[in-house]
Each structure stands twice: as structure tokens, then as C-alpha cells.
A and B are shown apart, each in its own frame.
Chain A
């Protein structure tokens, strides 16, 4: 009986003395575990797979850099890369457009909440629904856009059947919810703009664009940063809209890297796991350039202030 407190005593005191250090790790443990199993490990597994030729059934065969060499000669990979670039550039339009709508909506009119939620609506509905709606909008023969162009120019334009327009057509569909997202980020940012600074600027005679550029925007920098980050990542991981609206077509001209990876590794005509993994690695490295840049900037800002 007397032995018990002795046995517990030192243990308890060890816990007590290390409690401060251990608690954060204990709270982090579930998150770290999930992150390691579902993010970190698959990343390294993809790197490993990309050096093999593997159909998912037969034994893996080591091919070294073979998959990567094949990538550079693969026309479809180049098309996907080019399309990803177009996505990246045009998707950025969501940031200024979101800002514009946010400034427009940042006023006190009766019922403004309803207008705000209506503008936010496209972000709430699923990307699949957005894709379907735009696909019907563009559809040859019965689509609204097709009929509009038919009425205007005599011959209808089937956006998604035209290799030159299709990617832009999908990006427009993607911009719709993305603008809503940027708008909501800016709306919350605008709430935090200091009224006294606006007042002071107004007294100094600033107005219009000058006011926006020199007084409001600097205060919105955190919102801009987040908006740019989510838009860059959104553009690079675009997949659902391509899959729903064109399935990569017409004749593979709207493929992006994530879709091409899916096609090669997981679709009905794919099952080249190694090749798909190589595409995923390239996409990952491109994303890493941006993510590393963002992280570097965040760390610098934190240290600087």
C-alpha cells in the first residue's frame, strides 16, 4: 500500500515538469499523424512510383528517368503545361474583379446582405454544378451562348468544341466562383480598414483611384495575399471543371496537368501509374515554387514586424 504513492510520485512529477512542452505535441499528434499518412507519405510514394513502369497489377519495373524523358517528348504533356500557364495568368483576374465587386458592395443600402450573399452564391455551389451549367450554356444547338452567337453572327459558336476557345471557356466558368471567393476575402478586409485614415486622407484631398491605391489597398494587403495564394493554387489544381465540361477534349486540347495525370494513372484508358506519378511530381514542383515563395514571404513578414 505504501509502495503505490512512491511508484506514482516520480511519474506524476515528470509529467508535471514536462507538461508545458508535451501538451502542444499531444494536441498536434492527430493532425501530424493524418498529415504524415495522407500527405507526406503519398508525396514520397509518388516520387518513388515515378521511376517505375507499373500498371497497378503486374510487378513494378524500374525505368529510372524514363518516364520523365518520355514527358518531354509528349505533345499532350506540353499542351497540359501550356494550358496550366493560361489558367494561372487568367485566373489572376479573379483578384481585381473580386476587389471591384467587394468595393461596390461595401456600402450600407437596405438589403445589402441579400446582394452580398447572392454574389457569394457561386462559391457555395459545387464546382460540378458550375461546370454542368456552363457546359449547357455553351452547348451546341440548345445552349444559350450558342443561340446568342447564332443570333448575332448567323453561325453559332460551340465554345467547347473549338480547340482555340475551349480552355478559355472553362476558365470563365472557373472565374465565376473564384471571383466570389476573392470578393468575400476583400469584404472582410474592408471591414478592418481604419475609418480615421480614410477621414484623414479625405481631408488631405485624396479621392477616387488615388484613395484606393495609396490608402485602402495598403491596408488590404493581408487580404490580397490570401486572395493571390488561393487563386494560384486554385488555378494549378483545376481539375473538376475540365473533367465535367470537356473531359480534356476537344481532342485533348483542354487538358491540364492534374487532369492528364488522372487520365494516365486512373482513368479507363490509363493505368500507367509511373507515368502519372511523374506528371504529378512535375505539378508538385511547379506548385512548390509558389508555395515556397508564399511561405518565405510569410516568415519574412512575421520576422519583420
Chain B
């Protein structure tokens, strides 16, 4: 009689012990991320829940940062208290961290999982010194968003070529509508316009050489880019005072029917729709052709996940990257994000006209640029965007702007 409770107690304590050791054995993966906006936050919560369901012995602990604050915070936590995973961006944006030895080489994850084929479109922007430094999980297209109602009102047709676009602008101008709107108060929207003018005039390779500092800003071909751009600036086809307008306020101009076109990223669709536009009134087309001889390339900024060099659990972090790169995972994650999966075996929601158009456009593009402020080094990006902003207000200052950018180029890339 005495034995029974004893064995029961023993069994209980063994069970308890086993229980605690199971918890102790569960490996921890810390993940610092800036996905603080509602939609990305929900998308990442779902992603992590799926990962933990598949790998029950790994516990992912997320440290959520504010989107803007993260850009400063990452510099501190990489050197001071490294997580096992961290969000960042592809291209030149990750270069300072790679150069400083803060990111881990994950070429083996790419090789073991066939990522070189599946993530081919983003491979070049993830590669430095022939090694891959992270895994891209999403990107989105840039292009021309337009107000369908205004096109009907003035009788304009969606343009294929830039000449047609400029002709449309005359129609809009006569109707008192801004042909192209933008708000460069935060500078970067102007960089999107420059990217497209340069990509369409001189092509992807030239654009990458220019942002890579190999071509002088005073080059004749750069002048040609600005000359094409000036066909909109000089006649006043672009919204006036853009330098003091936020990009959201410019988006409002388009939803209110005061502007017809807007060179933007796909994230702006939500803003347009908040302003009352629907799939019936909001349209999208790729930036029109300027030089028919150059192959079509697009801007597609890519978001990535990296393993910091100081990660305490790099093995499980690599498991996570392989999981994140998988086609089905990217399909689900991007459906929640409202963006495009990088994995070419993934699918997008056919019902969303912007996503399906973007996916089609990007997968047939000859090259994908990351966006001016990710392709060019930070300092060059800053002075470049300042120049673009000035050009749209004072096109006559072009010579001065280009001389300045050229002297900045010589100083910045010499280091």
C-alpha cells in the first residue's frame, strides 16, 4: 500500500523532469525584425507559427522594432548583442555590413536548397564576392500607377512609348490636370523617377555602372537621361512644389482626380485605395519605352533576412533561411504581405490585378535594380536624390547639379 503512491509520485516527478528537460532542450532562435506595420506584422507572426509547427524543437523569439528606428538599431545590436536572424535589404544596403564582417556567408544554404535557380532573379543583388549573404523573401514592383477616370475624361490611351506619354501629358495639361505627380519631401520618390528614365534611356548595365560609381555624372548618356526627363519638367507636366509635398499627399492628388500618373512602388496601392480609388479607377502600366534598343529592366526593391556573424545559433538560423526560401512559404507570406514572392516557383493571387501584373512584369524583365538608394552607396544616394529634387524644380540648374554630383562621385567612390 505504501508502494503505490511512491511509484506514482516517482512517475510524476519523472514526467515533470522530462517535461522541464523538453523545454530546456527547445532551442531558441532570436529574430530582430522591423515588420512593425500591421500587415507585415501579421504576416510574420503566421510565418513563425508555421515554422515552429514544422520544427517543434525550435522556439523563435521575435524582437519587433519600429520600421525607421530599426535602421539605426541594427548597427547597435549587430555589434553589441547579436540576434540569430535580422531583417535587412539587398544590394548596396547590405554591403557595409558584409564588408564589416557583420553578416554570415550563407552560400551553403543557397547551394543545398537549389536557391540559385529558384531565387535567380534576386541572386545578383544578394551576391558580394561570389558569396550569398542572406535570403530574399519578398519584393515589389515599381511602375506607373494611373487614374483610369482621368484617362477617359481627356480621351488618352495607355501609352506604350514615352512619346505617347508626353503627348498624353499635353491633353492633361489642357484639362488642368497634373500629368505626373510626385512628392519629394522625403527625397526618395524622385529617385524612382530617375531610375526609370535612366533604365529606359541607357539600360540596366549602364544604370548599375552609374550607381556603382564607374561612370561620370557629366557623361553624355546621363545628360540624355535628364533631357528625356526634362520633356516633362520644362512644360510643367509635373506637380508644382513637389519638394514640399509628402508622397502620401501626392497620392491624394491622384485619388482626387487632380493628377493622372504617379511613378511609385506597389505599396502605394493601399494609399490610393484609402483615398477612394478601386480596381476600376486605379490602373498600372510599366514605365513606357524611351529607347527601343535597350532591354526592359525594372526597379524591384528586395527585402531580406540575414544571419549576423555573432549569431549564437547559426545552425537553426540556416534551417530558418531554407524554410523562408521555400516556394510554398513565400507564396503564403507574400499573399499576406500583398507583395511578390522572389521564388520563381511561387504563385501570386490572380485576383489582385497589381500583383499579377507586377509578377508578370518582373519575371520577364531583363534585369532588376534595387532602387537608387540601395544600388548607390548611402552618401551618393543622398546627394543624388537632392539633385533630382532640385532638377524637377529648377531644370536650368542641371549643369551645376551634374558637376556637383560628379565631384561627389569622385570623392565618395575613391574611398
Contacts and interface: CB of A to CB of B under 8 A. Distances in A.
Contacts of B244: 138-140, 158-161, 246, 249-250
B222 interface: no
A33 interface: no
B381 A58 contact: no
A269 B382 contact: yes
Contact of B245 (A57, A140, A163, A263): A140
B79 A251 contact: no
A47 B72 CA distance: 23
A58 B99 contact: yes
Nearest to B72: A266
B96 A161 contact: no
A278 to B, nearest CB: 15
A55 B245 contact: no
Nearest to A75: B404
20 contacts: A56-B75, A57-B79, A57-B96, A57-B97, A58-B99, A58-B100, A139-B245, A140-B245, A158-B241, A158-B244, A160-B243, A161-B240, A161-B244, A249-B389, A250-B390, A266-B72, A269-B382, A270-B382, A271-B75, A271-B378
A139 B96 CA distance: 37
Contacts of A163: 393
Q: Specify which of B187, B253, B404 lies most central, judged by the most chain A CB atoms within 10 Å of its CB.
A: B187
A161 B78 CA distance: 38
A219 interface: no
B387 interface: yes
B241 A252 contact: no
B124 to A, nearest CB: 23
A57 B78 contact: yes
Interface in B235-293: 240-245, 249, 253
> Top 3 nearest A-B pairs by Cβ distance?
A161-B244, A269-B382, A158-B241
Interface string B32-69: 00000000000000000000000000000000000000
Nearest to B93: A268
Given A57-B96, A57-B102, A141-B253, A250 B389 contact: yes
Contact of B240 (A70, A139, A140, A252): A140
A247 interface: yes
Contact of A251 (B75, B78, B243, B381): B243
Contact of B389 (A138, A251, A270): A251
Interface in A252-295: 252, 263, 266, 268-272
B58 to A, nearest CB: 29
B298 interface: no
Given A140-B245, A250-B389, A270 B100 contact: no
Nearest to A61: B415
A270 B378 contact: yes
A57 B100 contact: yes
Interface string A51-89: 001011110000000000010000100000000000000
Nearest to A169: B244
Nearest to B183: A140
A268 B243 contact: no
Interface string A198-215: 000000000000000000
A247 B390 contact: no
B22 interface: no
Contact of B242 (A53, A58, A161): A161
A175 B72 CA distance: 32
Interface in B64-118: 71-72, 75, 78-79, 96-97, 99-100, 102
Contacts of B253: 141
Given A57-B102, A251-B389, A269-B381, A161 B241 contact: yes
Contacts of B382: 263, 269-270
Given A251-B387, A270-B378, A272-B379, A55 B96 contact: yes
Nearest to B78: A57
Given A250-B389, A252-B386, A269-B373, 20 more contacts: A53-B415, A55-B96, A56-B75, A57-B75, A57-B78, A57-B79, A57-B97, A138-B244, A139-B245, A141-B245, A160-B243, A160-B244, A161-B240, A246-B185, A251-B243, A251-B390, A266-B72, A270-B379, A271-B75, A272-B379
A249 B75 contact: no
B79 A268 contact: no
A56 B75 CA distance: 8
Contact of B243 (A58, A141, A250, A266): A250
Contacts of A271: 75, 96, 378
B186 interface: yes
Interface in B387-415: 387, 389-390, 393, 404, 411, 415
Nearest to A58: B100
Interface in B276-323: none
B379 to A, nearest CB: 6
Contacts of B75: 56-57, 271
Interface in B4-40: none
Interface in A138-162: 138-141, 158-161
